[in-house]
Every structure is written in C-alpha cells, then in structure tokens.
Amino acid sequence: MLFDTPIFFVFLSLVVFSYWRLGWRRQNVFLLLASYFFYGWWDWRFLLLMIFSTVIDYLIAQRIAEETAVDRRRTLLIVSLCINFGLLGFFKYCNFFIDSFATMLQTMGIHNVPMFFLKIILPPGISFYTFQEIAYVVDVYKGELEPSRSFVDYGLFITLFPHLIAGPIQRPSHLLPQVQRLRTFNDRAFFDGCMLLLSGLFRKTVIADSCANLANAAFDGRLGSNFFSTLIGVYAFAWQIYGDFSGYSDMARGAAQLLGFHFMLNFRQPYLARSLQDFWRRWHISLSTWLRDYLYIPLGGSRKGPARTYVNLMLTMLLGGLWHGANWTFVIWGGIHGAWLSVERLVWPKGENSAWYGRVLTLGMVGVSWIFFRAKSLAAALEMLRSTIHLQWEPQYGPELLFLAVVSGIMLLVDYRLETHGEEYVFEKAYFAAPVCAGVLMAVLMIAFAASETNAFIYFQF
C-alpha cells in the first residue's frame, strides 16, 4: 500500500476516524491490527515473518530484564542479534553472496559450477523493523529501557504503520513511551499532520517523480554518454531521492501526528550542509544516529586514537552502504562516504570547514557518490564516470538543465526558509492563513504538474 495512492488515503481516513472514537487500550489493539493489515496488504507470508521476529525479541527482552547473571544476559543478547541479523542477512543478502561467489569462481577460470540458488523475495521494510528490534533489545540489555510488559504495546511500537515500510527508524526511548501512555486529540497537531502529509505528497509527486523521469533517462543511456548527460543524471537523481525520501518521511510523520504520535525529524535541509559530517547530521537522521549509537560508538568511536577512528568510520559507512542493498555499488557508495569523512576529520579536525566552498564541495562529493547508489551495476557506474571526459552538447540538454536549475532554486529556497525559521513545513510558524494558502498552492501544483509516470518510493526496497 503506497503512500501516494488513493487506497492509502482511504485506509488512513478510516483508521483515523475509528481510532479517535476508541479508548486508549482499544486504540492500541486497533492500531496494531490496522498495521498488520497494512503490512499484509502486499503478502500475508511477510506478515507472519514479522510477527515471528517481533514475538522472539519481545520474549528475549523479558528474559534479559529478569536475569541477573551477566553471562546469561549476554548470551540472550547474542541470540537475539543472531536471529535478527540472520533473518535480515538471509532475505536481503543470500542471493547477493551466492552470485558474488559464482562471479569470483568465473574470474578464476572455474565455469559451469552447479550452485544451489534461491530466488528470495525481500520482505518490505525488513531493514527498518529489524533495526528497531535490535535497538530495543540492546537498550533493555544496557539497562536504559524497561521492557514492555504488554505485547500489544511492544508490537505496536515495532509495526505502527506510518513508519513500518521505510522509517524513520524509531528509537525505543522516543516512541515506546508514547505507545504506553494516554493520547489526546490536539487540533494544532492534527493540522500540522495534514500539512506534513500535503508537503510530503508534493515533494514526492511533483519534485521526485519529475526528476525521476530525467534521472531514469540519463542512467539508462537515453540522454547519451558524456559530461552533460552525467551531470543531468546525477543532479536529477539527487533531487529525486531527496524529494522521494524526505517526502515519505514527512508523510509518515504527518500520518503519525493524525494519530497523536510524534516521530523524530528525519531530514534537516541536507543539501545546505557545510561538510559531509554535517550532511549526515541532516540526511536520514534516524539511520545515521542508529549507526552512530549502535555501531560506531560500540566499535570505539573516536576514543582510541586517530587510526582507529578512521577504521571505525570506514567500517560504519561500509556497513551502512551494505544496509541499503545487496549490491557492490552500495558498498562503494558507503566506502566513498567513509573515506571522505576520514579526510574531513584529518584536514578539519575541529569541523571548521564553514566557508561557502564547504557547501559546494560537499554537494559535489555527495553528487558523485550518488552515481554508485543509483547505477544498476558497478560497471555501469564506472562507465558513467568515464563518460565525463566527453563534452558533447545536445540541444535537448538546455531545457533539461534549466528545469533542474529551477527545481534546485525552489528547493534550496524552501530549505533555506525552513533552516532560518526552524520550521518543519513552509509557514508553519506564520499566521494561520499563510500555511493554508501554501497548502492550496501545493495542491494546485500537484494537480497541474505532478509527473504522469508513477515511481515507487525508493526506500521501499530497503
């Protein structure tokens, strides 16, 4: 059930209407069942897998809290991690490693080796709910969180449908207490939720889908193979993925607010970042903070000297890249970010790269790395980079570059206003008439200019 389809808005309307007519405990039961229905809409077999994973971690967390022996607590934690990473690894990476092994054998001259191969379908959102489950069990193990005594509450924390498929990854300490306490209807929060839904839908259907048409043409080779086609493809995809994922996050946060929940901010004007470290404080914040707290810091962070810090940065970003998908292009994308983060820490140890060129350099580096993120294969990404030595101009490039310039200008101006006013959507803190007018304008633009080609949310595949 995609967020930008009529069926979702019918589903959301029915859920919101029914939800606010129930008592608190019944609200949680109703939302849990509605979330199961939402997830099972694709395939009920995926729903059984998610429920199995949820039940296992619920029971293990209970046992960890009850145990006093350190060794037993650690053993239970390891069991939970093995189950979670085992399920994630099997469904997400089994085909990838088998295929990579076969390719390695071919490069060694060994051909026609019979191999057991499964065509495994990736369950929607498995990366997101698995990371939430891991965070929950780890926090209980560290004594930072009391385990939920109610399976309904814990299950709802994991499966609440606005964040279930593509995040934001909810921290247990932030969302679980909201599930466990009484929620009351708030007019302003409801209005803000509607505006976030509208803003997110605008980013997806007008910005992301329009840029996707250009990005697809460039990466498929339909615009040629030269510097200008690569430039168009890179920055069309940069605005596509930003509009797509920030739009999804806004819609997820908006839907949650209609139900009385508050989700963490997942994007904070990332293309205004002055450094790559600043970029990761602004881009996919729920993932970057998860990687920091549950991977980078446990590895030692920056506490064990510069050399170990660079190794930890690289490992964190390589695994962050692999989290995005079973393809070497994602690993290289993560490696580029890890290497550049290390360079920044070496050149600007105190983060003083705050001049204007910091933004230009960061945007350029992020743009180059997007080639590996978007390309279908490593060979395609390298070919696209090699093509930049050719400066062959085509008449069609003029209107396409002008379109990207207009999109970039509008989005940067919007982000600049959000940045300077501390707003979550345009005119959030202005008088009531201003956000209403902005909403009407977005609705008109969606009707007039929304791309005719429908593109699924990019992060649904992760």
Tens of pLDDT along the chain (462 residues) come to 778 888 999 999 999 999 999 988 899 999 999 999 999 887 788 899 999 999 999 999 999 999 989 999 999 999 999 999 999 888 887 766 666 655 655 666 665 655 554 566 778 888 899 999 999 999 999 999 999 999 999 999 999 999 988 879 999 999 999 999 999 999 999 999 999 999 999 999 889 988 999 999 999 989 989 999 999 999 999 999 999 999 999 999 999 999 999 999 999 999 999 999 999 999 999 999 999 999 999 988 888 888 888 999 999 999 999 888 778 899 999 999 999 999 988 887 665 556 677 888 899 999 999 999 999 999 999 999 999 999 989 999 999 999 999 999 999 999 999 999 888 888 888 888 888 888 888 888 888 776 555 565 665 555
**DSSP secondary structure code for residue 334 in this structure:** H
Check if the beta carbon of residue 293 is closer than 8 Å to that of residue 276.
no
**Of the residues 163, 284, 324, 337, which is catalytic?**
324
d(CA 45, CA 49): 7
In the residue annotation, 163 being an active-site residue is answered as no
